[in-house]
Chains A and B, each alone.
Chain A
């Protein structure tokens, strides 16, 4: 059965329209041929960084997109925000097809979707005060009525991001802030336009363990407030398991499994998800176990294997896996749990 995502959602009892939804998303990057290659007229080749991704984020929902480096998770996030252009597929934002928006329409869209980057040591301008950083989006989008309104919005955003009282932080520069505080400033700057969608790319991986939970709890609070949807891109499965509602597992440009966080973690269906989870070290020393490491390295997205793209590393692959490129389809016992494997 080929599952249509919309039909699947309604079958699962999730009738309301998602905040953002991509279908069949493809993003390719051209490979450099070099001068010799061009002179010899070697064919232009490209990397299919995202190769047919279906993903959606609902209002008030946090979805974690997990996978190893190079699997295409950041590109997927960038494509959803229209920061990179997809070669194929569609992106709907609140029901509107935004795949090909440009110019003023795209600018209007940008206000409503924001990105939080991994490294708050690099994403903040060292010369800008907190005030300047957070008010910049308001100025660019002319989103404040007057000076007083601007100040009010900056203060609100900082306090929503947990920097209370805001007046204590307004005049500081990044070097006067700790890592956790910097990331909160970055979050405040992305909240100030009151977006509907946040894409957070590894939002805590550069932070110390002791402050990570605070930033994650902040994201968690922001979306439980109601309308905000969050796509969190992470390589850390434990973080995804604790903070996300749903987890989508990506491998080599595709989503291979998707479902409620609890179902994906406790009852993984795809052999890749199983391997990935088995490699996560448990915190309790008594739960020591032999790690079932996969053989081989993640293949190159320039040369995607035939059939199921995971088959060369799959511990349970059969002959058919070399031929059939599996679709995401219902798997396991959980509602809305899907996997792309012919064996489930």
Chain B
């Protein structure tokens, strides 16, 4: 059952000189209860902006349109008023670099306790007990709450930031690059933690990352973003073995695999600037298979199989000719 549905989300940022940057351009994405979904793409593609919009935490120069439905209720309908009751209580987020944003002069326990009291979950000794529970939940001994962030390793600080996000027992956790800048061994431990949290608490997880192997190992489904749009979404297995957008295929091919022997490719060119209109398909200037229609018309995200959608004209050409896109 759908728990969170993002419908036709658009985000613009006002820039100096009256210009506007269209950072998120009509994103549709839904998450079923208990599901783990990856949101992948390169820097500047709009993935962080998308999740910040879901939290209602965009900076003042941003404007938003579209709907964000939580259990069918639109969080954007009345702006901040409709968002506040759900932020942190139903939808929580682990920010990019959160482990380096802990307050250095307060104990970790105090910092986890703050949201618990602020949101009226518990006070006094009951809040303290909840801090202990949360720490244990993320694999830190409850007694370590009395320690300061500098006494924690990077992995422990990231666990503490996850504990903080879970303070109000949210249904959905948005994790923005939760393992970037961590060593591979610690990354493995944090991914294991996120997976066990979703399995044991039924937590719905949206994992935002540029790292495809991380998604391949943890998520059932993924959406690939490019230039503010979702260009392909579907089961992660199909995205890897049967990609239907050239960007998805190239992104996997650009990622070296430990034992794979295929050549690692780079994608020539750069994403289009988002502060001016884009003519045709945004990936067309970098696409090895682009043809005249791609210059004119931005392809819509269309179904290519039961749960798999892609925004590429080649799929229609292929459907017409009865063969695969590759």
Q: A73-87 vs B: 1/0 string, CB under 8 Å?
A: 000000000000000
B20-28, B47-55, B104-112, B257-265: which lies at the interface: B257-265
Spell out B's residues near A (CB within 8 Å): 42-43, 153-156, 183-185, 187-189, 191-192, 210-214, 216-217, 236-237, 240-241, 250-252, 254-260, 264-268, 270
Name the residue in A208, A236, A237, A280 with the highest tally of chain B Cβ atoms < 10 Å from its Cβ. Answer: A208
Q: A205-230 vs B: 1/0 string, CB under 8 Å?
A: 00011111111110000000000000
Interface size on A, residues (CB 8 A): 40
Q: Is A123 an interface residue (CB 8 A)?
A: no
Contact for A208 among B42, B185, B188, B259, CB less than 8 A: B42
Q: How far is the CB of A158 from chain B (nearest CB, A)?
A: 18
Contact for B191 among A236, A282, A285, A291, CB less than 8 A: A291
Cβ B185 vs Cβ A276 within 8 A: yes
- Assuming the contacts A279-B184, A281-B216, A283-B252, asked whether A266 and B259 have C-beta atoms less than 8 A apart, the reply is yes
List 8 tightest A-B contacts by C-beta distance, closest first.
A214-B266, A210-B267, A213-B266, A281-B213, A279-B188, A291-B188, A238-B256, A68-B183
Q: How far is the CB of A206 from chain B (nearest CB, A)?
A: 10
Main SS of chain A's interface residues?
A: helix
Report the bound CA distance from A37 to B271 in whole Å.
55
Report the bound CA distance from A235 to B183 in whole Å.
7
Cβ A293 vs Cβ B188 within 8 A: yes
Report the bound CA distance from A181 to B251 in whole Å.
19
A243 neighbours in B (Cβ, 8 Å): 256
Q: A259-274 vs B: 1/0 string, CB under 8 Å?
A: 0000001100000000
Q: How far is the CB of B18 from chain A (nearest CB, A)?
A: 21
Q: How far is the CB of B117 from chain A (nearest CB, A)?
A: 31
Name the residue in A237, A286, A293 with the highest tally of chain B Cβ atoms < 10 Å from its Cβ. Answer: A293
Q: Is A88 an interface residue (CB 8 A)?
A: no
**Contact residues, A242-267 vs B (CB, 8 A):** 242-243, 265-266
Q: How far is the CB of B72 from chain A (nearest CB, A)?
A: 31
Q: Is A297 an interface residue (CB 8 A)?
A: yes
Cβ B256 vs Cβ A242 within 8 A: yes
Report the bound CA distance from A48 to B211 in whole Å.
33
Report the bound CA distance from A96 to B188 in whole Å.
44
**Contact residues, A271-304 vs B (CB, 8 A):** 275-277, 279-286, 288, 291, 293-294, 297
Cβ A178 vs Cβ B217 within 8 A: no
Report the bound CA distance from A293 to B139 in whole Å.
14
B252 neighbours in A (Cβ, 8 Å): 283
Contact for B264 among A216, A237, A288, A294, CB less than 8 A: A216
Contacts A213-B256, A283-B257 given; 16 further ones with Cβ under 8 A?
A180-B266, A209-B251, A236-B184, A238-B213, A239-B256, A243-B256, A279-B187, A280-B213, A281-B216, A285-B240, A291-B189, A291-B192, A293-B189, A294-B185, A297-B155, A297-B156
A236 neighbours in B (Cβ, 8 Å): 184, 256
Q: How far is the CB of A146 from chain B (nearest CB, A)?
A: 36
B258 neighbours in A (Cβ, 8 Å): 237-238, 241, 265, 277, 280, 282
